Amino acid sequence: MTTLLINSIYRATEGEGIHIGIPQIFVRFQGCHVGCVNCDTKETWDFDPSYTKSLDEVMEQVETLSQNIIKRVSITGGDPLHPSHIPSLIELIKELKNRGYFINIEAAGTRIVKDVFDQVDFVSYDFKTPSTTVKTSKELLLKFLLEYGHKAQIKAVVADKKDFEATFDAFHFVKAQGSAPTAPWCLTPCFEPGEAFPMNRFQQVVQLNEQFGLPFRVIGQQHKWVYGPEAKLV
Residue 190 annotated as lining a ligand binding site: no
Position 234 in a domain: no
Residue 64 annotated as lining a ligand binding site: no
Position 151 in a domain: yes
Position 47 in a domain: yes
Mean pLDDT calculated for residue range 117-135? 96
Whether the predicted pLDDT of 122 surpasses 70: yes
Name 133's Cβ contacts closer than 8 Å, sequence gap at least 6.
35, 36, 37
Whether 111 contacts 148, CB under 8 Å: no
Helix and strand counts by DSSP (H, E) for the chain: 7, 9
Position 173 in a domain: yes
The total of structural domains in the chain comes to 1
Residue 28 annotated as lining a ligand binding site: yes
Rg of the chain taking only CA atoms, in angstroms: 17
Residue 39 annotated as lining a ligand binding site: yes
Position 233 in a domain: no
Q: How confident is the model at residue 46 (pLDDT cuts 50, 70, 90)?
A: very high
Residue 194 annotated as lining a ligand binding site: no
CATH number for the domain spanning 142: value is 3.20.20.70
Q: How confident is the model at residue 173 (pLDDT cuts 50, 70, 90)?
A: very high
Residue 14 annotated as lining a ligand binding site: yes
Position 171 in a domain: yes
Q: How confident is the model at residue 234 (pLDDT cuts 50, 70, 90)?
A: low
Whether the predicted pLDDT of 146 surpasses 80: yes
Residue 186 annotated as lining a ligand binding site: no
Residue 41 annotated as lining a ligand binding site: yes
Residue 111 annotated as lining a ligand binding site: no
The residue segments making up the domain with residue 15 are: 3-227
Q: pTM score, two decimals?
A: 0.94
Residue 76 annotated as lining a ligand binding site: yes
pLDDT tens figures, 61-90: 999 999 999 999 999 999 999 999 999 999
Return d(Cα 197, Cα 204) in angstroms, integer: 13
How many other CB atoms are there within 10 angstroms of residue 203's CB atom? 12
Position 39 in a domain: yes
Query: What mean pLDDT value characterizes the chain?
Result: 92
The pLDDT, as a whole number, for residue 222 is 84
